[in-house]
Amino acid sequence: MDGPNKNSFNVDSFLATTGPGRRIISLKAKGIAFSQGDPADSVFFLQTGRAELTVVSKRGKEAKVTLLSARDFFGEEAMTDADVFRTSTTTALIPCSTLKIERTEMLRVLHEEHAFSDFFLQFLLAKSARTEADLVDQLFNSSERRLARTLLLMAEFGQPGEPETLLPPITQKALA
């Protein structure tokens, strides 16, 4: 008979609690998790709420990169190198709770906990597929179809559970 389960690591518990190298940060609506140009020294996990990633060009033109939902990671560029800077700004659309995970703790848990590595890899693959779908959408669909797709994505239509009936406040400019 086998002994007790050697790997009692729980991904949901890790992402819901504070601990060495990680802390929970509450953001009010319009609160900023990090700004473009800041040192990228941590990864964030959006526990609750909605947020957006934006970039500003050298000429001052702002563009929305993506909308974030609960259970999304963001700031993953921190994992690429120790001396990297943020390429975007993350702003809460509604009150949010985020888990800030320092780069060294993120690397440790990725190496030591296979359940977490699998969870993070699945997130990255889904994000890559979503980014590819967004690019195809931008290249080939009319503005009406893109708007409809964006609204369905924001409502999490087709996801397990009930679609969200209350969308965060968002301007027509942001939807465009």
pLDDT at 132: 86
pLDDT at 136: 75
Give the pLDDT confidence score for residue 130 in this predicted structure. Answer: 85
Question: 148: which DSSP letter?
Answer: H
Task: Please give the chain's pLDDT, 176 residues, in tens.
Answer: 444 455 689 999 999 999 999 999 999 999 999 999 999 999 999 999 999 999 999 999 999 888 899 999 999 999 998 889 999 999 999 999 999 999 999 999 999 999 999 999 999 999 999 888 777 767 776 667 767 766 766 666 655 665 555 555 566 665 55
Q: What is the pLDDT of residue 163?
A: 55
For domain 11-175, say whether CATH 2.60.120.10 is its number.
yes
CA distance 29 to 95: 5
Q: Across-strand partners of 64? A: 54
- The C-alpha atoms of residue 48 and residue 96 are separated, in whole angstroms, by 5
pLDDT score for 159 = 58
pLDDT at 110: 97
What is the structure's pLDDT at 1? 44
- Polymer length in residues for the chain: 176
Two structure tokens written together for 138: 């931008």
pLDDT at 112: 97
Q: Are 89 and 56 in contact (CB under 8 A)?
A: yes
